[in-house]
Amino acid sequence: MTALLVACAAAPEPEREAVQDFVAVRNPEAVDQIKTDNNDSWKELNEYYLIYKARKGDYLVEFARKCWELGDQRIVPDVRWDSTRIRPRFDTIRGCRIHRIYALTEADSTELEELGEAPGSRN
């Protein structure tokens, strides 16, 4: 029984691995903060990553743990040390601690959004 639980816990997560591979190959620049604005938005890639769309560019945000709250209907308050910036290791999105932030180009954002989608699934 214990071996089965360990095997389930260690099961690969293809969506997460695809983003990890992208980061390993592209080696995007890690940033210490994102300057925020009221018009910012984000798009969930999976439970570990999202693309944060700020006025000055797009960023890949990695969470310290699986962030189930991204798809949750209840609103979890965020922790912010500065109301105009988001920083890894200190701040949260939807209550999930941000582990790392990477700067993205438009091409990077598009590629990440298409990871895991079936061909022709996009309208």
* Overall number of domains in the chain: 1
Cα-based distances in Å from 46 to 66, 88, 119: 9, 18, 18
Give domain status of residue 21, yes or no: no
Give domain status of residue 54, yes or no: yes
Give domain status of residue 77, yes or no: yes
70 pLDDT band, cuts 50/70/90, is confident
Give domain status of residue 4, yes or no: no
Range of the domain at 71: 29-114
Give domain status of residue 81, yes or no: yes
Give domain status of residue 91, yes or no: yes
Please give the backbone phi and psi of residue 47, each rounded to the nearest 5 degrees, phi first: -75, -5
Per-residue model confidence as pLDDT tens digits over 4-31 = 444 455 566 777 888 999 999 999 999 9
The whole-model pTM stands at 0.79
